[in-house]
């Protein structure tokens, strides 16, 4: 495959697309190319006819495509992380959780989401209650927080109830109904 060609992405193997994505010149590709690769990778990671190790490679490729799409555009970091969160949660549901700091680690996932939000649940709830009177940019920020948190529903069952992170996740999930 030519290094910048997007024709026939769907007919390519995970090996070919991993090599394609790893090429330095692909950093300059348009957002649409990375979106096409993300869509393909998400579909393939969900294909239970494929071996688990191959499906996990598709997960990693989807995450690479999301990151490269964000690098090559003005995509908001929270919007990109919301896409990553969706992919990782779906992978955790499909393949099970791991406690290794990797893509299947629900603790790592939650911590990265909370870090990106950069506020406490109480601070976000205080703003969320008044969202209709906020400037459009702040409404959008709250909407992106909701997009980050919503996929985490169900992840709390994978974190021990006594773990402080479980309590923090529960607090965050309780904010979702207040968000625009």
Q: What is the pLDDT of residue 125?
A: 97
Q: What is the pLDDT of residue 3?
A: 44
pTM recorded for the entire structure: 0.88
Residue located via tokens 């490269």 = 68
**Domain map of the chain by residue range?**
1-74, 76-180
| CA–CA gap between residue 61 and residue 81 (Å, rounded) | 15
Q: What is the pLDDT of residue 62?
A: 98
Q: What is the pLDDT of residue 39?
A: 95
| CA–CA gap between residue 21 and residue 70 (Å, rounded) | 14
Residue 148: C-alpha distances to residues 17, 51, 78, 176 (Å): 27, 29, 7, 10
Question: Which residue ranges of the chain lie beneath pLDDT 50?
Answer: 1-5
């Amino acid at each position: 495959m030519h290094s910048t060609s997007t024709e026939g992405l769907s007919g390519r193997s995970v090996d070919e697309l991993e090599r394609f994505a790893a090429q330095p010149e692909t950093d300059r590709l348009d957002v649409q190319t990375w979106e096409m690769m993300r869509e393909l990778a998400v579909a393939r990671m969900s294909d239970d006819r494929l071996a688990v190790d191959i499906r996990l490679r598709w997960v990693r490729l989807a995450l690479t495509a999301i990151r490269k799409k964000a690098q090559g555009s003005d995509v908001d970091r929270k919007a990109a992380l919301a896409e990553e969160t969706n992919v990782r949660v779906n992978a955790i549901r499909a393949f099970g959780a791991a406690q290794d700091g990797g893509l299947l680690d629900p603790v790592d996932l939650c911590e990265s989401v909370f870090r990106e939000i950069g506020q406490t649940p109480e601070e976000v709830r205080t703003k969320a209650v008044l969202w209709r009177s906020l400037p459009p940019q702040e409404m959008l920020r709250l909407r992106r927080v909701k997009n980050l948190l919503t996929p985490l529903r169900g992840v709390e069952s994978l974190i021990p109830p006594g773990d402080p992170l479980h309590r923090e996740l529960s607090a965050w999930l309780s904010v979702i109904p207040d968000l625009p």
